[in-house]
Amino acid sequence: MTNRLTRALTTAAAWWLGLLWIMPLIYALWAATHGAQFTTHFDPFAPLTGEHFVTAWQQAPFVTYMLNTLIITGLILAGQLLLCTLAGYALARMPFPGRGMVFALVLLQLMVVPEILIVENYRTLAGLDLIDTPLGVGLPYMASAFGIFLLRQTFKGVPQELEDAARLEGCSRLGVLWKVYVPLAKPTYLAYGLVSVSHHWNNFLWPLVVTNTEQSRPLTVGLAIFGAPESGVDWPVICAGTLIAISPLLALFLLFQRRFVHSFMHAGLK
Amino acid sequence: MNQRTWLHAWLMLLPALVMLLAFTHIPALSTLWHSLYLPARSGEQAEFAGLDNYRMLLDDEVFWQALSNNLWYALGTVPTSMVLALVMALWVNSRIRGRTALRLAYFTPTMLPMIAVANIWLFFYSPEIGLFNQLLGSLGLDSINWLGDPDWALPSLMLMTIWKEAGFFMIFYLAALQGLNPDLYAAAALEGASPWYRFRRLTLPLLMPTSLFVLVNAVLNAFKLVDHLFILTKGGPNNATNLLLYYIYENAFAFFDSNYAATLTLVLLVLLILLALLQFTLLERRIHYR
């Protein structure tokens, strides 16, 4: 009897917390789809409207922002996959003097993250003349310690016999990496890819520092300017703009939520 | 043969290593270097300042405030979101009704950019028409100037951060819980151990490594995530919510004193390296324990 009561209470608490957690998003959806007079006045029969989305869409170049975000995240992911695969393999399977030290240098980046080195990295990029370019936003993130670590762990789990067999058949080192290791590490690539994309899609501070024109700003930076109190946009429109900005990633997440959650778990376990 | 392997290994490491050095290790060192100089006036060489920037730092009240804010911010957000994350993970991992939907609800804030979250929460906190004050009003309570009152501004940020982060940390606990050995629980159940006893004596100790991992990441986040300040408070009122990284940004890109910003960055670097060392020693112990 008490057992069933506890269970009912636990379920109620879990649901209550879940509701609380999803409420801000539901609320933004409510505000964006109803007239301004309903922003704080909840009436289930309030008429729906799409006008705020139209206004928001006209006030900021969301298409440009989205394309920029897409280019930046794509560039970062491509760089990361290439660099981390090569480095992860060398650290996992190739004995050479100094390997421990190199690995320690890599791991250091897990704590000394590029996010806090904005001052010096800005200086570097200005020297390379890469300010206000997608490549400039992407460069500091391409050699990701997390990616190298994750792939090294995965590659270490691949049976050495597979490599030896392939080598006996005359496969080169890069050939082995490409034909044996990469296919076997597919789940890790997927997990890392999703984590990386969602991280960089949402990243703000560094893109803010590096970009300074409408042509190169990603979504987050555009959204911050769009929603700034100084720009005098009214509330439902900000909500609509925010929803426009988060919709691509959110839609992807809702469609493949199981995959996303498992990927984050997979990446977190290592 | 061996030397060819070495050569190949270095060649494969080269691209990643060059980028790591260029954007992590060298900037970390040049931070120290630049913190010893005064900003260059146009056309002139930067002037060596020795420890002047550090003297300035010690006298800078805003720095001390940002540091203490940051420590309070970490203390206010990390333990609460960790406990919530563990509770969420236990719920979602149990045979609760609708657990997939719950997991989705808890995890969704993680997928949103901090800027978007801050845009939405800005309205909750707004003084006149804001949702929270309307809620207080309907309960007959006085309204609070959430972001404008120096006493409430930082706690308001903490509340939002907890909401944003708990679901992210839940994932790590969930992964760990699913990796636990069911035999142990079967044995405990045979012994007649109560659920609370099982949680305290079995689950919690087995989750220790995860907790440590989450702890370090949560503290790191408390120092590196300042996006919401740009929307909600801009560090105000009167620096009541200024955090170290935001203050670094202000100095470098609003006050154009990149040398003082480098000095501040060095303090943050030292803090993070200490954190890393702490993690390292604790992890060492964990490996021995296993």
- Give the tens place of pLDDT for each residue, B50-59: 788 888 888 8
Query: What distance in Å separates the CA atoms of residue A54 and residue B107, rounded to the nearest whole number?
Result: 29
Is B10 within a domain? no
Q: How far is CA B150 from the centre of its chain?
A: 22
Whether B255 is in a domain gets the answer: yes
User: Closest to A105 (Cβ–Cβ): which among B25, B107, B168?
Assistant: B25
Judged by CB atoms within 8 Å, which residues 7-66 of A form the interface with B?
10-11, 14-15, 17-19, 21-22, 24-25, 27-28, 31, 39-40
> Three-state SS for B48?
strand
**How many CB pairs below 8 Å do chains A and B form together?**
255
Q: Which of A217, A213, A191 is nearest to A204 (CA)?
A: A217
For B201, phi then psi, to 5°, come to: -95, -15
Distances (CA, A) of A205 to A12, A83, A99, B74: 39, 24, 33, 19
In a domain, B13, yes or no: no
Residue at token pair 């390997």: A99
- Using an 8 Å Cβ cutoff, are B264 and B251 in contact? yes
Angle, CA B13 vertex, CA A198 and CA A85 arms, to 5°: 40
Distance CA B101, CA A19 (A): 10
Measured CA to CA, the distance from residue A1 to residue B141 in angstroms comes to 40
Report the SS3 class of residue B180. coil
- Tens of pLDDT along B122-133? 888 888 777 887
Q: Report chain B's mean pLDDT, rounded to a whole number.
A: 85
| Residue B121 domain-assigned (yes or no) | yes
pLDDT of residue A208: 92
CB contact under 8 Å between B115 and A224, yes or no, is yes
Residues in Cβ contact with A258 at an 8 Å cutoff, skipping those fewer than 6 apart: none
Neighbouring C-alpha atoms within 13 Å toward the C-beta of A48: 4
Q: Which residue in A28, A205, A208 is closest to B120 by CB distance?
A: A28
Does B60 score more than 80 pLDDT?
yes
CA distances in angstroms from B250 to A123, A143, B61, B138, B217, listed in the order given:
16, 27, 15, 39, 25
Token digits of residue B122: 């800005």
Cα A179 from chain centroid (whole Å): 28
Q: Cβ of A145 under 8 Å from any chain B Cβ?
A: yes
CATH at B149? 1.10.3720.10
Please check whether residue B263 lies inside any domain of the structure.
yes
Structural domain includes residue B35:
no
Give me the residue from B19, B123, B258 closest to A235, CB to CB. B123
**A232 pLDDT higher than 70:** no
Residue B289 has pLDDT above 50, yes or no: no
Residue B7 lies in a domain: no
How far apart CA A93 and CA B13 sit, in angstroms, is 12
Q: Which of A38, A65, A111, A225 to mutate to test the interface with B (most CBs of B within 10 A)?
A: A111
Domain containing residue B230: 65-289
Mutate which of B3, B102, B115 to disrupt the A interface (most A C-beta within 10 Å)? B115
- State mean pLDDT over B266-283: 83
Kindly state whether residue B126 falls inside one of the protein's structural domains.
yes
A139 contacts on B by Cβ (under 8 Å): 19, 23
Closest by Cα among A136, A149, A10 to A75: A136
> What is the percentage of chain A residues whose pLDDT exceeds 90?
21
CA distance B157 to chain A (A): 15
Q: Phi/psi of residue B240, each to 5°?
A: -65, -20
User: Is A115 in contact with B245 (Cβ distance < 8 A)?
Assistant: yes
- Which of A15, A19, A21 would you mutate first to test chain B, the one with the most B CBs within 10 A? A21
pLDDT digits (tens, 9 = 90+) for A72-128: 999 999 999 999 999 999 998 888 888 888 888 888 888 888 888 999 899 899 889
Chain B residues in contact with A124 by the CB 8 A cut-off are: 22-23, 27
C-beta atoms of B113 and A201 within 8 A: yes
In chain B, the number of structural domains is: 1
The residues, ordered by sequence, that sit 6+ positions from A55 with a Cβ below 8 Å of its Cβ are: A237, A240
The per-residue pLDDT for A205 is 92
Domain A64-217 belongs in CATH node 1.10.3720.10: yes
CB A114, CB A149: distance < 8 Å: no
